[in-house]
Structure formats: C-alpha cells, structure tokens
Structure 1
Amino acid sequence: MSIYYKISEMIKENKKFAVATIIESKGSTPAHAGKMIINSDGSIIGTIGGGLAEKYVINESISAIKEDSSKIVEYTLNNAKEGGLDMLCGGDLKVFIEVNNIRPTLVLIGGGHVNYAISKLVDFLKFDLIVVEDRKEFCNKERYPFAKKLYNDFDMEKSLKNLVTDSNTYIVIATRDGDEMALREIIEKESAYIGVIGSKRKVKVVLNNIAKDGVKKELIDKVCAPIGLDIGSNSPEEIAISIISEILMIKNGGSARQMKEVKK
C-alpha cells in the first residue's frame, strides 16, 4: 500500500494526523526525499530517513496536531554547529509538516426548507453532513447528495437514539412537529452545539417542558433557541445563513460583531 493511498484513506475516515515531507536537503542527510504519516500518539507510517532528525520531526508533528497548525521545520545535522542536532551527517534538512484536521459534523434533524437551505452551504464549508427525517421523500440522496449519512426511518426517535455524536458535532433541530422529542433524545449526547428553530414562545415551552422532566439546567443552558443570529432574515435561505453564521461563530470563537468594530 502506497503512502498516498493511506493518506487518502485516512482523510476519508476523518482521522486527525500529520504528514511530514522533506522539501529541501543540503549536504549529507539520512534521506534527500521522503514522506511519513504521524498520528497523534506518535506512531508513524513511512520514513524520512530515521535517526535523531526523524525523532525531532515526530515530536514537532505531535505538537502541530495538538495546535492544529501546519509548519516548516529546519535542522542542521551537525553537532559542531550552534543549534545543530547531535549528529555527524553535517547536512541541512527542511521538512514541511502538514496537519489534516478532523472535519466537523453537522446534523440536520428535519428535512424541510430551512435545513435543506443549510445543506447547500455545508459542502464548501467542509462539514460532514448527516440528515435525520422521518419522510423518505424529504431525506434521500437526490435531495442531499453531499450527505455522509441519512436516517430516514419512519421512527425518528429510534433514528436519534442510534445517532452517534462527539465534541465536534453541531446539531440543528427544525422538524415539522417533533422538536421537543428530538431535543429530549439528543440533549445529553456529546456535541459542540445544539440549536432549535422556532419563536421565542415556542422554544420557551419546549425548554420548560424538558426542564420539568429533570433535564439538567447546564444542558438546557447550552441550547441555542431560538436559533441563529439576528440579521433580519425572512426567507429559508437567509435563515440558513443566520444559523450557519451562529455555528461558525461558536466553532471559531467569533464575536458576531461587524469587522469595523473588532480591534485586533
């Protein structure tokens, strides 16, 4: 199996890793060309020549993965030179460490107009898309061609019980009549964001109902309801943009202020 095939497979599996590639070498070095995959636990596939230089690159790659930041590192392989590694090769090595970040997952519960509009924005924002809807005519590959997974069982409650989430999952609830049920099923699941569409009056009733049933206050306080940012939106497409904007604000730690008001 070639290293390029392995990289492709790991990207498809949405794994976090780094690829270290020799981009320049001068003089005597363990290798003048090479590429290797580094996992967050330090395990590797491939090599850039082995030895102390490779060990340093592995450590730098682990740090890069933790920091979500690609970088270029340079080493002098000569212990007689200031800052050089304890090696006798004598050459210089430049390595590019590229981090493959895990794509976030967006779960759309409900396949109606607003969530359909949201789905149109998802692909170029690099989210994996999952759609949950109890009507197959509103939840199929023709309607959601970019979806990674579709749950279109008539029993939506069952679908939500089977839904697997993590700390990088963003959830939008916009069903025709099952928002409260959906929120009950997913509120205790791990997630980065849960938003519920609806008027202030409607979402207040929903949140009060689940609070009466003993759902913890800290879980309820995490729910963004009504969903989205106030951009004066009216159409499904504009509402979708306001929702995606809120999700990106939370994902990226933004403030939602106009850029002219932001001082950096």
Structure 2
Amino acid sequence: MTTSPLFYQQLGELLAQEPVVVATIVQVVGSAPRELGAKMAVYGDGEILGTIGGGAGEAKVIEQALIVLKKRKEEEEEVKEEEKKENEDLLAENRFKNQPRNQPRNQPRNQLIEIDLTGAAHQETQGVCGGKVQVWLELWSGERAIALIKKILEAFEAGQSGMLVTPLMRDYPSYLVNRQRPNRRALLTANPGFEHQDLEHHGSEHHGSEHFTEILQLPPVLLIVGGGHIAVALAQSAHFAGFGIAVQDDRPNFVTPERFPQAGLLSCSISETLTHFAAHSQLYVALVTRGYPQDIEALTTLLQHPIDYQYVGAIGSQKRIRMVRQAMQRRGISLERLANFHAPIGLDIGALTPEEIAISICAELIKVRRGGTGRSLYQRMHTSHVSFKVHAGEQRYAAHVPR
C-alpha cells in the first residue's frame, strides 16, 4: 500500500495547526477491511483524515489516539507552568536552572494496538472480518514532523521513490530514506541509537521486527485518449479510485479544465503527453475516442513508444476492435505488443450510460492494478465449497452452490 501524496499534503496542513496522531496498519493476519500500510490521522476532538477500516476497531484506535493527544497537551501545559515559575524565580533570585525549555517532559507515547476481527464474543471490537490487525500509533508534531512532510512531498514532486521507515519503538519518529541509495551512515546520523537495528532488511511488514517500511511512489496515472462524455465520467471515477488523470484530445475545446477539473495534464498531442511519463512505471491508458481512425493513430503512437504500460485498452464494438487490430498488424506492431491490449475495454456489468460504462472501465483498471479476478465475490465464496466423490475407482469433484 502506498499512501497518496494528497494524504501527506493534507497531513502537512493539519500539522501546521496542531499535533496529529498517525495510525498505520503494520500487520494483517487473515481477512481485514483495510490493507497493510493503510493510514489514518487523528486530530482535534476525534476528527480523522483517511481510514483504517471503520467500525469498532477504528473507533478503538481513535479513542486511544485521543488519549495520546490529551496527554501531550497536558505535558505542554506543565512545561509552560514550569517555565513561568522558572522565569519568576530568575527575576526574584537572579539564578539559572538547567531545566529543558519548550519541550514536553515525556517522549511521545507511540504504541502498538491489536484489533481482533474474528468475531469472538468476548472481543471488544466485535469484528467479523475474520482476521487480526496491528496498528501503530505515532504522534507527529512540531517542526520535525513538518520538515518530514516537506521532504515526502518534494520526493513525490520530483518523481523519486523513497521509503518511509517507522521505528516500532516509543522514542523514535518516522524518517525518509532514498530507496535507490539508502545510506546507513546518514540514517545513524539522523537517528542516533539505531546501531542495534537491522537497517539492511526493509520489509513491508514488521513481523515482530523493529521497524515498518512503506514504499513511497507516485500513484498510477490514467491517460484518457478522447474527451467525450465517457471520458468525463471516467476521469471522475478513476480520480475517485486514486488514479492521477491526464486527458488527450485533438480538439482543444474538449480538453479544458472546466470539463476535466481532476486532470493534472491536458493535451492535444499524444506524443507530447507521453514525454511527461517516459519514466513513470504506473501508466494506464484508456482509448475512448470518437472513432476507429482516431484509435488507430493513437494506438500506433502508444505502442511504438518504449513505455512499459500497465494497461492499454480501447472502447468499441467487436467489429471496430477487429479493424483496429488488423490495422496495427499492417503497421508492423508485433503480436507480442498487442497481447495485453484490452479491447473491448471494461468488465461486463451490463453498462449502458456513459457513467455506467466509466464504472465498468474503472473496475477493470482496479482489477489489473490489484490483481483481482473480476468475479462476483458472492460467486467466488459460494463456488469454493467443493466436495469430492469417488466412483468406480475414479476421484471426481463437484462444486455445490447453495440455492
């Protein structure tokens, strides 16, 4: 799980105003509502940014986070009272004391919380997902946290891949590491006391180790070729699903900020558009053009470009798609390059309207991104009940679907 740049941007805005407790799922055993690495920020009187799954389990985390924030506030008030008394003593007795200033007396109360979702009657959370999750609470506050957010956002802006390392110990804050060049000396300099940690093995899950690592990389981008009604609906759906949006159409009046407020890039040229994603490893392309001549020109440019696309698909009837494939072969596009061409695009959900078609396409994008099957969850669950029959020395099996 990679947390989106938007989350860190909003987290930075919160940190400029007040301390925040960041909750991160650091271990998942069995089934859970959210994935490993999911984050939620708790602030104020229980307001949240993001989610780690909702329900009673999330409520338990919010409750504990509020305790951390309350204790932090009490410590800060104690420090202020001590400073006030110290200043009064200095004025009265003209002497200095070696008490630390402007810092809470105690370290932030980072801690690990386990949420049981097995549905056992004695469990406080009464979850029914069937698994268990561990959530790490870390207090983010002050200039150091704001500086970390700034570094994270700068890495995203520069297209750099980094690692956010969260030490699972009470006294150490999270820090950022360059993924390509993790420098041990720099880590030890920035985080004295880490000599006893195994920093050479950055895992995605802690399994009892002393740190949790999140890979920071840019979110996937969906390039929508064509700016018609389906494109408008698809941009909305894909943006909601976490994709960055770029739109290309050779008609300037179709690629405007008014039509595509979610788009980070609007262009009239595919070649120009692709130059922005030459080094992007998570590029998805959906062709929803006004006709197969536009499909042919666009697809030729796309497939002749050396980008390793995660997904390329096109809308259209079987006849239209067949004509496009034949044209690609005549232009010398290899069958290997066409092998992963998704056409007609989308999952078969009976979609008719532009909005429904957009959801169908977006569902397939998510399936490819997450490695899903596209099957109904109901069917998947009920066809998993398999019984074996032995007849005349043969072993046979039959799937039983409850009526």
Do Structure 1 and Structure 2 share a fold, with TM-score over 0.5?
Answer: yes
Give ranges in structure 2 of 5+ residues lacking alignment.
1-143, 385-403
3-state DSSP class of the match of 1:238? helix
The aligned runs of 1:56-205 (5 Å cut-off) are 56=198, 58-61=199-202, 64=203, 69-71=204-206, 74=209, 94-152=210-268, 156=269, 158-159=271-272, 162=275, 164-165=277-278, 166-177=280-291, 178-189=294-305, 190-205=308-323
Instruction: Return closer, same or farther for 1:157/1:253 CA change in 2, 3 Å cut-off.
Output: closer
Displacement, 1:200?
Answer: 0.5
SS in 1 for 2:328: helix
Sequence identity percentage: 27
Give the structure 1 partner of residue 192 of structure 2: 49
Structure 1 residue aligned with 2:160: 15
| Structure 1 residues 72 and 20: alpha-carbon distance in aligned structure 2, compared to 1, 3 A threshold | farther
> 1:71-98 deviations in whole A, cap 9, x for unaligned?
4754xxxxxxxxxxxxxxxxxxx44433
Report the CA distance between 1:116 and its aligned residue.
Answer: 0.9
Offset at residue 51 of structure 1 (A): 4.7
Higher RCO (CA 8 Å, separation ≥ 6 residues): 1
Cα contact 1:109–1:173 (8 A) shared by 2? yes
Instruction: Look up the match of 1:214.
Output: 332
Q: Which moved more, 1:198-207 or 1:243-252?
A: 243-252
Q: CA deviation at 1:157?
A: 5.4
Question: For the residues of structure 1 that align with 2:208 and 2:265, how far apart are their CA atoms?
Answer: 39
Name the counterpart of 1:91: none
C-alpha contact (below 8 Å) 1:21/1:48 kept by paired residues: no
Cα 1:157–1:49 change in 2 (3 A) is: closer
Tell me the equivalent position of 1:88: none
* 8 Å contact from structure 1 (residues 17, 39) kept in 2: yes
Secondary structure at 1:99 match in 2 = strand
SS of equivalent residue, structure 2 residue 166: strand
Quick check: which has more Rg, 1 or 2? 2
| Secondary structure of the structure 1 residue equivalent to 2:339 | helix
Q: What SS class does the counterpart of residue 312 from structure 2 fall into?
A: strand
1:184-243 deviation per Cα after TM superposition (whole angstroms, max 9, x unaligned) = 110233201110111100110111011022210111222111111111111001111111
SS in 1 for 2:304: coil
Q: TM-score normalised to the size of structure 1? A: 0.76
* 1:242 alignment partner in structure 2: 360
Q: Distance in 2 between matches of 1:128 and 1:157?
A: 17
Other structure's SS at 2:154 match: helix
Find the aligned partners of 2:284 and 2:270 in 1 and give their Cα distance.
18
Alpha-carbon distance between aligned partners in 2 of 1:254 and 1:38, rounded to the nearest angstrom? 31
Note closer, same or farther for the CA distance 1:22–1:209 as it changes in structure 2 (3 Å cut).
Answer: closer
Pairwise CA distance, 1:18: 1.9
Task: Give the secondary structure class of the aligned counterpart of 1:60.
Answer: coil
**Per-residue CA distance 1:110-165 (angstroms, 9 max, x = gap):** 1111111100112222211111112222112222122121113xxx3553564534
Paired residues of 1:233 and 1:242 also in contact (CA < 8 A)? yes
Q: What SS class does the counterpart of residue 348 from structure 2 fall into?
A: coil
Deviation at 1:50, TM superposition (A): 5.2
The secondary structure found in structure 1 opposite 2:333 is coil
Q: Distance in 2 between matches of 1:234 and 1:146?
A: 24
- 3-state SS of the aligned residue for 1:126? coil
SS at match of 2:200: helix
- Say yes or no: does 1:231 pair with 2:344: no
The C-alpha deviation readout for 1:3-45, integer Å capped at 9, x for no partner, is 33111222344533222234534xxxxxx33432122234256
Letter of the aligned partner of 1:24 in structure 2? M
Q: Return closer, same or farther for 1:161/1:246 CA change in 2, 3 Å cut-off.
A: closer
CA 1:41–1:159 in 2, change beyond 3 Å: closer, same or farther?
A: closer
Using a 3 Å threshold, how does the CA distance of structure 1 residues 34 and 257 change in structure 2: closer, same or farther?
Answer: closer
Aligned 8 A contact 2:161 2:217 in 1:
yes
Gaps of at least 5 residues in structure 1 are 26-31, 75-93
Root-mean-square deviation (CA, aligned residues, Å) is 2.5
Moved more, 158-167 or 115-124: 158-167
The separation in 2 between residues aligned to 1:14 and 1:124, in whole angstroms, is: 21
Q: CA separation in 2, counterparts of 1:9 and 1:106? A: 22
